């Protein structure tokens, strides 16, 4: 099943399609939302047990977001249901606190039932949070017990390696629960809503990928935790206009140029209880970006300056109680964070570290003092992430691709002693097959792994492997779309070029001219044009309404080297839209069916910003736009994201002004539909209201669609999503015209 790799994936374009293909109707939109984009019913949170004998996973019904726990037997290939949320709750409805809802919003989790679970070191015990309660399941005895935790909001529970202790944050402090005595002990004290202990602050969760605020040493004798002081940080509120009798939800929301949350790191020996503080120059390094308490007992932290042009990896020295610098990453634009690094070699004074060095990501083997020892994965191999390291075998498994529309899993051997180079150390062996996106997870004993893949031809499937063979597939009960998107991915243009997707109607007629819809995102740190079927299902629905839908990956996106990614720095309002226009013209010149006199644009979040920007700045190209949850003024977005790409206020004020939509409102001359959820706590509804106000003052006509009670994840509500996309289709049909 191995195929040759081609980093320019060109799918043959059909000149004609079957005339009897029936276009998708609006019922597809509801089905898409009801099935979570056809992902409900598929295995998620896949975790092989440490001994490699079983694979655990969560799975819901095809149209039911409540996940249950399942177990796949590696020896027999059989799967059984282990535990359901209904059983534990005894038929009661699941209840989530506002804090847990907010945490799931940050993690983009819409599932109910078991959202997550944890195993202890030998896999005998599982910790399962559910409906504000904590349950421990004994896999050997198949018994479940509910912990007698006092009333309060429980966040971020963890189970100890020996399965005897559970920790969590309850009402702003970290607690330790002894399973033998059913006794709870406070490890930190004095936490409040203003000054929390053990909780990740908003920007850490939303932008840094750090969802925890406390970490244990391997033996659970030492706790390291954050103290997040919100004093002086702006307080914003999310109110539900349909429920004026209810108090708004309160959120600390730091904006560019304003006060950030002040975070420091404490550590405490549980049997002593006295807190000491890990000090660093917090004026120079304002962000605590990442913390890792490695299995070897080494504690490392990544701290970052407010401009994010320097990230420093530092190690805690217990004898001095201080941090010592290991590696500095610097860039004139911004540095990237790695939550999965460093990886220390067990029994060795060496660690693996991902660095860019101005070229691309590479995996380095560094000595205990931080100096470079060897290069394990070259900077030009398209490294994305490291999935597994076996220091005994000298093996690293990682995800990489020189084609940013794909992601493949590879194995490579390396040596701990650079002077003795192994003959196979420069060879990468792919574990998967075919085009598409792959990920992998290994068992603790490193003998079993699960490889999950998706492609243009199929939605995610997960396959269980041993070292010698594939033993089975984790079963899915998901609904299938019933069709494959008529989508092609190609790289166009000279030089670096642009990766693009073209989605044509399934009854495509090459003799016709079609209006074009640009499905846009365009923002940094995200790839839109990928070989994943799910990305192109709704665009196929739009295409079937009589359009050709296209997507273009502009500069600023990852996966194409340092200079490509950082071309967007300080230029939100220029580089992305210039590239989108250039890509459109290249596509139109190549594909005669595209009518570039009738181009519409639709996007959400940063894509919503891009959509509005398109008609305000380039009405010569874009004839109509739908802007979903757009950021309209970047001074109203959070610090860590915005200052990373636009700089600091006041010194970089001009970059903010040049990227704002508000001064452009007077230029509107094309149809514009603004869509926004009123309960959005990521891109606040304020953004759409502020642009609306400027448009009204300028005497401009526009349309608006408020989504009552909807957050940033609009597709989670089937009816709302169907109505939104149906209106989108009607809007473009009216303003672009559809050939009969």
Average pLDDT over residues 70-78: 98
> Residue 204, Cβ neighbours under 10 Å: how many?
24
DSSP state of 635: G
The pLDDT score that the predictor gives to residue 508 is 96
Q: Which of 403, 159, 307 is nearest to 644 (CA)?
A: 307
Place of tokens 């084609």: 403
The Cα diameter of the chain in Å comes to 79
Residue 7 has what pLDDT?
26
pLDDT tens digits along 189-217: 999 999 999 999 999 999 999 999 999 99
Assess whether pLDDT exceeds 90 at residue 588: yes
- pLDDT value of position 421: 46
Q: Choose among 426, 341, 335: nearest CA to 376.
A: 426
Give the pLDDT confidence score for residue 105 in this predicted structure.
63
Residue with tokens 């535990």: 83
- Cα–Cα dist 740/737, whole Å: 9
Residue whose pair of structure tokens reads 């000491």 in the numeric block: 276
pTM for this prediction: 0.92
CA–CA distance, 135 with 125 (Å, rounded to integer): 10
What pLDDT, on a 0 to 100 scale, did the predictor assign at position 94?
73
Q: Could you tell me what percent of the chain has a pLDDT over 70?
A: 93
Q: How far is CA 160 from CA 139, 215, 267, 271, 361, in A?
A: 16, 11, 17, 16, 34
Name the nearest CA neighbour of 134 among 98, 184, 172. Answer: 184
pLDDT of 356: 85
| pLDDT tens digits for range 547-564 | 999 999 999 999 999 999
Q: Are strands 448-455 and 458-466 parallel, antiparallel or unpaired?
A: antiparallel
103 or 694: whose pLDDT is higher?
694
Task: Output the average pLDDT for the chain.
Answer: 91
Could you give phi then psi for residue 451, rounded to 5 degrees?
Answer: -105, 125
Instruction: Inform me whether the pLDDT recorded for 690 exceeds 90.
Output: yes
Catalytic residue positions, numbered: 605, 680, 712
Question: 27-34 and 718-736 are packed helices; what angle lies between their axes, rounded to 10 degrees?
Answer: 140
Residues 6+ apart with CB under 8 A from 601: 517, 518, 520, 610, 611, 614, 615, 622, 624, 625, 626
**Pair of tokens at residue 422:** 């192994």
740 or 572, greater pLDDT:
572
User: What's the confidence (pLDDT) of residue 11?
Assistant: 36
CA dist 716 → 63, 243, 297, 518 (Å): 12, 21, 41, 23
250-275 confidence digits (pLDDT tens)? 999 999 999 999 999 999 999 888 89
Give, for 29, the enclosing helix (H) or strand (E): helix 27-34
* Contact indicator for 629, 705 with CB cutoff of 8 Å: no
Query: Across residues 441-468, what is the average pLDDT?
Result: 96
Q: Are 386 and 398 in contact (CB under 8 A)?
A: yes
Question: Quick one: average pLDDT of 660-664?
Answer: 98
- What would the DSSP string read from start to end of 667-731? G--S-EEEEEETT-TTTTTHHHHHHHHHHHHTT---EEEEETT--S-GGGSHHHHHHHHHHHHHH
- Say how far apart CA 473 and CA 8 lie, in whole Å: 29
The segment with the largest mean pLDDT, out of 31-35, 129-133, 463-467, is: 463-467
Quick one: pLDDT at residue 305?
Answer: 98
Confidence label for 99 from pLDDT (cuts 50, 70 and 90): low
| 129-145 burial code (b ≥16 CB/10 A, e <16) | bbbbbbbbbebeeeeee
pLDDT beyond 90 at 111: no
Domains belonging to the chain, first-starting first, are 480-736 (3.40.50.1820)
pLDDT band at 360 (very low <50, low <70, confident <90, very high): confident
- Does 110 have pLDDT greater than 90? no
Would you tell me how many other CB atoms lie within 10 Å of the CB of residue 366?
20
- pLDDT over threshold 80, residue 69: yes
> What is the pLDDT at residue 715?
80
pLDDT value, residue 101 = 63
Q: What percent of the chain has pLDDT over 90?
A: 81
Task: Point out the least confidently predicted range of 17-21, 383-387, 615-619, 720-724.
Answer: 17-21
- Angle of helix 606-617 versus helix 575-590 axis, rounded to 10: 80
Half-sphere CA count of 392, side-chain side, radius 13 A: 4
Q: Name the pairing type of β-strands 470-473 and 458-466.
A: antiparallel
Q: Is the bond into 222 cis (omega within 30 degrees of 0)?
A: no
- Judging by DSSP bridges, how do beta strands 372-377 and 383-390 pair with one another? unpaired
> What tokens does 100 get?
């847990």
Peptide bond into 650 cis (omega under 30): yes
Residue entry with tokens 């509801």: 30
CB atoms within 10 A of CB 429: 11
Q: Is the pLDDT of residue 418 over 60?
A: no
The whole-number pLDDT of residue 424 equals 52
């Amino acid at each position: 099943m191995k195929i040759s790799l081609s980093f320019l994936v060109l799918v043959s374009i059909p000149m004609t399609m079957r005339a009897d293909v029936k276009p998708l109707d609006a019922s597809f939109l509801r089905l898409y939302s009801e099935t979570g984009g056809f992902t409900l019913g598929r295995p998620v949170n896949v975790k092989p047990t440490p001994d490699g004998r079983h694979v655990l996973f969560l799975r819901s019904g095809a149209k039911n977001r409540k996940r249950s726990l399942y177990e796949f037997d590696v020896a027999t290939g059989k799967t059984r249901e282990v535990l359901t949320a209904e059983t534990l709750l005894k038929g009661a409805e699941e209840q989530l606190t506002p804090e847990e809802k907010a945490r799931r919003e940050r993690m983009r989790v819409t599932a109910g039932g078991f959202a997550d679970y944890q195993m202890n070191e030998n896999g005998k015990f599982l910790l399962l949070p559910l409906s504000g309660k904590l349950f421990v399941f004994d896999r050997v005895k198949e018994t479940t017990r509910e912990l007698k935790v006092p009333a309060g909001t429980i966040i971020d529970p963890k189970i100890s390696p020996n399965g005897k202790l559970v920790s969590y944050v309850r009402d702003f402090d970290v607690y330790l629960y002894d399973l033998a005595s059913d006794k709870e002990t406070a490890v930190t004290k004095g936490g409040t809503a203003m000054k929390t202990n053990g909780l990740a602050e908003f920007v850490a969760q939303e932008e840094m990928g750090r969802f925890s605020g406390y970490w244990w040493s391997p033996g659970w004798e030492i706790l390291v935790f954050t103290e997040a002081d919100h004093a002086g940080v702006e307080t914003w509120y999310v109110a539900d206009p349909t429920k004026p009798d209810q108090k708004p939800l309160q959120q600390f929301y730091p904006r560019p140029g304003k006060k950030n949350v002040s975070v420091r790191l404490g550590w405490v020996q549980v049997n002593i209880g006295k807190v000491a503080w890990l000090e660093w120059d917090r004026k120079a390094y304002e962000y605590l970006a990442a913390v890792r308490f490695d299995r070897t007992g080494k504690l490392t932290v990544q701290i970052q300056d407010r401009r994010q042009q320097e990230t420093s990896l530092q190690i805690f020295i217990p004898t001095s109680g201080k941090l010592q610098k290991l590696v500095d990453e610097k860039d004139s634009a911004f540095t990237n964070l790695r939550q999965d690094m460093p990886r220390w070699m067990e029994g060795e004074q060496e660690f693996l570290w991902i660095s860019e060095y101005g070229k691309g990501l590479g995996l380095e083997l560094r000595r205990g003092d931080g100096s470079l020892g060897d290069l394990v994965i070259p900077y030009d191999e398209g490294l994305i992430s490291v999935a597994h390291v076996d220091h005994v075998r000298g093996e690293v498994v990682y995800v990489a691709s020189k084609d940013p529309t794909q992601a493949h899993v590879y194995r490579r051997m390396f040596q701990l002693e650079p002077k003795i180079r192994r003959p196979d150390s420069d060879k990468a062996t792919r574990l998967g097959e075919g085009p598409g996106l792959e990920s992998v997870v290994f068992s603790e004993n490193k003998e079993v792994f699960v490889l999950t893949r998706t492609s243009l031809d199929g939605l995610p499937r997960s396959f269980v492997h041993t070292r010698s063979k594939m033993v089975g597939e984790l079963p899915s009960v998901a609904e299938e779309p019933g069709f494959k998107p008529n989508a092609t991915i190609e790289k166009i243009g000279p030089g670096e070029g642009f990766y693009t997707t073209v989605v044509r109607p399934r009854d495509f007629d090459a003799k016709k001219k079609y209006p074009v819809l640009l499905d846009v995102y365009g923002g940094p740190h995200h790839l839109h044009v990928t070989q994943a079927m799910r990305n192109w299902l709704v665009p196929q629905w739009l295409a079937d309404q009589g359009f050709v839908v296209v997507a273009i990956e502009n500069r600023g996106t990852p996966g194409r080297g340092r200079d490509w990614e950082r071309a967007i720095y300080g230029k939100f309002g220029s580089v992305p839209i210039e590239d989108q226009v250039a890509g459109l013209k290249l596509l139109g010149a190549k594909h005669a069916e595209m009518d570039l006199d009738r181009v519409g644009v639709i996007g959400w979040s940063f894509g919503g910003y891009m959509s509005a920007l398109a008609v305000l700045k380039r009405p010569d190209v874009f004839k109509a736009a739908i802007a979903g949850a757009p950021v309209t003024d970047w001074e109203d977005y959070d610090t860590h994201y915005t200052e990373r790409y636009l700089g600091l206020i006041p010194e970089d004020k001009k970059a903010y002004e040049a990227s704002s939509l508000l001064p452009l409102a007077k230029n509107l001359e094309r149809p514009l539909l603004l869509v926004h959820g009123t309960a959005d706590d990521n891109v606040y509804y304020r953004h759409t209201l502020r642009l609306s106000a400027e448009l009204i003052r300028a005497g401009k006509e526009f349309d608006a669609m408020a989504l009552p009670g909807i957050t940033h994840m609009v597709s989670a509500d089937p009816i709302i999503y169907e109505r939104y996309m149906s209106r989108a289709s009607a809007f473009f049909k009216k303003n672009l015209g559809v050939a009969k």
